[in-house]
């Protein structure tokens, strides 16, 4: 497994679920981590647990990625604590699932603002210090829903598809400064966002997965660690699907 000795990583939405798994694996591979989450109490508990188990410096920062000032403040706090930022993982996200004919404007705006606009705010704040050091890794957590679509998730799929275009554009803009930007597109991974799905939908989802099982948060985290590492220095503008073959072409 690639090593990230003393890299400084910011992970949004890191208090629980996939974000927590990413933060923990980054720390286990040697990174110091900022656990950025809107729920400060959970973020603090997560940061303390990861620090205790890995021996890395891990701090919690309350972050509302959908607010530009909050996103900027998180990067400023990172620079104040660690002096630089090497890795940004844009993981924070939400769902408001319903059929399009029933979807309210508020449901649409909530998902787009958090999932897509939030990534814009955090990335814009992080690239200035990365440009100064002429190095950095930006990793956006997309979804197979953004690649193939999903009934009842027009807002979520649109936000995650938007991340793909955003990732490729940022990769082109920053490549000359040795800053890479990639995306990871998880398949069906049990999290707080999927726990509420009816059992019949979960069963259908598993039937559509060639490997015949759901994924794990650790498997998503492993992909992120690779993209954050020196081993991925020649990989940029790529979308790495971690989905058990669900969306293979």
Q: Catalytic residue numbers?
A: 156
Between CA 206 and CA 51 the distance in angstroms is 35
C-alpha angle 51/115/108, rounded to 5°?
Answer: 145
Chain length of the chain: 249
Phi, psi for 37 (deg, rounded to 5)? -160, 150
Between CA 196 and CA 203 the distance in angstroms is 13
C-alpha angle 240/66/13, rounded to 5°?
Answer: 50
Please report, in angstroms and rounded to a whole number, the separation of the first and last CA atoms in the chain. Answer: 28
In terms of C-beta density within 10 A (0-12 exposed, 13-18 middle, 19 or more buried), how is residue 69 classed? exposed
3-class DSSP assignment, residue 150: coil
Between CA 105 and CA 123 the distance in angstroms is 26
Q: What share of the chain is helix, strand, coil (3-state, %, to 5)?
A: 50, 15, 35
CB 38: neighbour CB atoms within 10 A? 19
């Amino acid at each position: 497994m690639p090593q990230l000795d003393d890299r400084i990583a910011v992970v949004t939405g890191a208090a629980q679920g996939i974000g927590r798994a990413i933060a923990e694996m980054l720390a286990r591979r040697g990174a110091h981590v900022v656990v950025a989450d809107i729920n400060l109490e959970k973020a603090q508990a997560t940061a303390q647990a990861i620090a205790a188990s890995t021996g890395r410096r891990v701090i919690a920062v309350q972050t509302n990625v959908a607010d530009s000032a909050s996103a900027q403040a998180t990067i400023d706090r990172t620079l104040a604590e660690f002096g630089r930022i090497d890795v940004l993982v844009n993981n924070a996200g939400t769902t408001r699932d319903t059929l399009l004919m029933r979807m309210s404007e508020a449901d649409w705006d909530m998902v787009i603002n958090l999932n897509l606009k939030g990534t814009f705010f955090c990335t814009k704040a992080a690239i200035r210090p990365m440009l100064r050091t002429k190095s950095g890794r930006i990793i956006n957590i997309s979804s197979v829903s953004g690649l193939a679509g999903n009934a009842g998730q027009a807002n979520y799929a649109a936000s995650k598809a938007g991340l793909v275009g955003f990732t490729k554009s940022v990769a082109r803009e920053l490549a000359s400064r040795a800053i890479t930007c990639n995306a990871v597109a998880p398949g069906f991974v049990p999290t707080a966002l999927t726990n509420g799905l009816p059992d019949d939908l979960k069963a259908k989802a598993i039937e559509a997965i060639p490997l015949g099982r759901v994924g794990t948060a650790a498997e998503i985290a492993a992909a992120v660690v690779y993209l954050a590492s020196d081993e991925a220095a020649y990989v940029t503008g790529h979308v790495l699907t971690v989905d058990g073959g669900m969306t293979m072409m």
